[in-house]
């Protein structure tokens, strides 16, 4: 069953975040993942959630997504992202109905 990593990002250092974005596609692909959403227009439909940027990654399994996030390969990139802005991230199982 696929799993999805959903990340809300508020960039505070655009140059550093641009550098981060150059490196993430290869890191994500190395663990079988792919981008489903990578920024773009976002409109709030309900509640008070008004993210400035949303990213959604799809991985073949929950375990592969966890492996990606905890990997030594992604660790320096994660540190870069966290330094370049504020973010919130969740990992959720996909629907296989």
- The predicted-structure confidence for 61-70, as pLDDT tens digits, reads as follows 999 999 999 9
User: Tell me, what CATH number does 77's domain have?
Assistant: 3.30.70.100
pLDDT band at 15 (very low <50, low <70, confident <90, very high): very high
How many domains would you assign to the chain? 1
* pLDDT at site 96: 79
pLDDT number for residue 72: 97
pLDDT band per the 50, 70, 90 thresholds, residue 16: very high
- Looking at residue 29, its pLDDT comes to 97
Q: In the chain, which ranges are continuous DSSP H helix?
A: 14-30, 62-70, 75-84
Exposed / middle / buried, residue 53 (Cβ in 10 Å: 0-12, 13-18, 19+): middle
Closest C-alpha among 11, 15, 14, 2 to residue 95 = 2
CA end-to-end span of the chain = 10
For residue 68, the enclosing domain spans: 3-42+51-93
**Which pLDDT does position 97 carry in this prediction?**
76
């Amino acid at each position: 069953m696929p799993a999805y990593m959903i990340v809300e990002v508020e960039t505070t250092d655009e140059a550093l975040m641009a550098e981060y974005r150059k490196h993430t596609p290869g890191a994500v692909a190395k663990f079988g993942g792919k981008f489903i959403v990578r920024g773009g227009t976002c409109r709030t439909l309900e509640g008070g959630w008004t993210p400035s940027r949303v990213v959604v990654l799809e991985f073949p399994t929950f375990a592969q997504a966890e492996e990606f996030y905890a990997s030594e390969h992604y660790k320096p990139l994660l540190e870069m992202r966290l330094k370049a802005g504020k973010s919130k991230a969740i990992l959720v199982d996909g629907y296989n109905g």
